[in-house]
Amino acid sequence: MAYARRKFEQALGNNKELAEHALSVFQKLYYIERQALESNLNYEEIRKLRIEKSVPILEEFEKWLKEKSIEVLPQSSIGKAISYTLNLWKRLIRYTENGKYQIDNNLVENSIRPMALGRKNYLFAGSNGAAQRAAMMYSFFGTCKINNINPLEWLTHALKVIPDSKLSKLEELLPQNFSKQ
């Protein structure tokens, strides 16, 4: 959603009226997310809030995008912003289906930024397999960070119980599920 919003920010110089309307819609959606966060809602309450408040805004926005898409030049900045948003629409609105989902992937991108910045250093992992294992561990530790979980506690627990865990139950050992145990 953040990328779609950014496209409309870039289109302000092309068609201020349409871009500002779209940005106001994004502002409403992010305000709802802020309300959910500040209210400390659980995942089910977040899902219900989104269905009640965000889904009607999104339905109206999709209708508006489709109407405006035929009124603007496709290669203009505003045309590209509208097209980009409509092309990703099903993926953009998926966050309303589950309270665990975020409206955008900014948290993930911020957590992996250090890894992306050090990418050249990771070329020397020793082997392809070692690089894949390192990437997996970075993902686990990034998930711990996002979920405010002590990585050492999680890893100690996971390594202790994994030998007795069923293959079908391994998902329960993922960091985001650790606090539930």
113 and 173 belong to one structural domain:
yes
pLDDT number for residue 6: 95
Query: Which of 52, 75, 97 delimits the end of a domain?
Result: 97
User: CA separation (Å) from 16 to 1, 10, 27, 138?
Assistant: 20, 10, 16, 42
pLDDT number for residue 145: 85
Counted domains in the chain: 2
- Mean confidence (pLDDT) of the chain: 90
Query: Which of 71, 97, 123 delimits the end of a domain?
Result: 97
Range of the domain at 50: 2-97
Containing 23, the helix (H) or strand (E) segment is: helix 16-38
Type of residue at 76: S
Of residues 160 and 129, the one with the higher pLDDT is 160
Query: Which of 97, 118, 137 delimits the end of a domain?
Result: 97
82 and 138 belong to one structural domain:
no
Gap between the Cα atoms of 98 and 43, Å rounded: 7
Tell me the percentage of the chain whose pLDDT exceeds 90: 68
Whether this model's pTM surpasses 0.75:
no
82 and 20 belong to one structural domain:
yes
73 and 20 belong to one structural domain:
yes
Confidence band of 121 (pLDDT split at 50, 70, 90): low
pLDDT number for residue 66: 98
Type of residue at 116: A
117 and 172 belong to one structural domain:
yes
